[in-house]
Amino acid sequence: MAQQNNPYDMRSMFTAFDPEAMQRMWNPQAMMQMFQQPQAQMFDMEGIIKANQRNFEAMAEANRSAAEAYKDLLDKQMEIFEKLTLSARQQYEWVEDTAGPETMKAKTAAMNEAVEEALGMMRKMAENARAANAQAAEDMQSQVKDAVKQVEDAAKKASAAAKK
């Protein structure tokens, strides 16, 4: 029997969660280039990048770790789906060759239940991950507000000092 592609194999969809690609995307030099101005710069971006290199590296590492966690989550979802549907698929193939219409209906119903169970577990994993992300974002929101206020205050002080 020829090897068939599994229609439920969604690994190609998850390439966006490749940890190396995420790390390249969060490269501090690449990120800061968008803030570079073609004309004379108001401040030394290179100096800022160098002064905060460890912070950028820590952020890149954290994002790489998050991407690995998402990749792991997606791999586990696919593993659940494959385990729960493999047996049902095998039964379905056997029934297709050896059973009558009533048995075929029963086995089709069993396959549907297996797929529904797998998808339910996968959805629950995704919902748990979403809830954890929402909680993390909520926890960080006050820290972001404080950081923005500090930047605004520093800019006001620098502007006032430059006017003197």
Q: Does residue 157 lie in a domain region? A: no
Q: Does residue 79 lie in a domain region? A: yes
Task: For residues 9-25, give the mean pLDDT.
Answer: 71
HEC string of 11-78 equals HHHHHHHCHHHHHHHCCHHHHHHCCCCCCCCCCCHHHHHHHCHHHHHHHHHHHHHHHHHHHHHHHHHH
Residue 89: phi and psi, rounded to 5, are -65, -40
Predicted confidence at residue 16, as pLDDT, reads 65
Residue 30: phi and psi, rounded to 5, are -65, -40
Q: How far is CA 8 from CA 1, 13, 91, 101, 115, in A?
A: 19, 11, 17, 25, 10
Q: Does residue 144 lie in a domain region? A: no
Task: For residues 95-117, give the mean pLDDT.
Answer: 77
124-21-62-80 Cα dihedral, nearest 10 degrees = 20
Task: For residues 135-147, give the mean pLDDT.
Answer: 81
Task: For residues 59-88, give the mean pLDDT.
Answer: 82
Rounded Cα distance between 75 and 14, Å, is 9
Q: How many domains does the chain have?
A: 1
pTM of the model: 0.45
Q: Does residue 28 lie in a domain region? A: no
Q: Does residue 88 lie in a domain region? A: yes
Q: Does residue 9 lie in a domain region? A: no
Q: Does residue 56 lie in a domain region? A: yes
Q: In the predicted model, is pLDDT for residue 141 greater than 80?
A: yes
Q: Which one-letter amino acid corresponds to residue 33?
A: Q
Q: In the predicted model, is pLDDT for residue 116 greater than 80?
A: yes
Task: For residues 29-48, give the mean pLDDT.
Answer: 69
Q: In the predicted model, is pLDDT for residue 96 greater than 80?
A: no
User: What percent of the chain stands above pLDDT 70?
Assistant: 79
Mean pLDDT of the chain: 77
Rounded Cα distance between 59 and 64, Å, is 8
Task: For residues 40-68, give the mean pLDDT.
Answer: 79
Q: Does residue 109 lie in a domain region? A: yes
Task: For residues 29-35, give the mean pLDDT.
Answer: 73
Instruction: State the residue range of the domain holding 98.
Output: 44-121
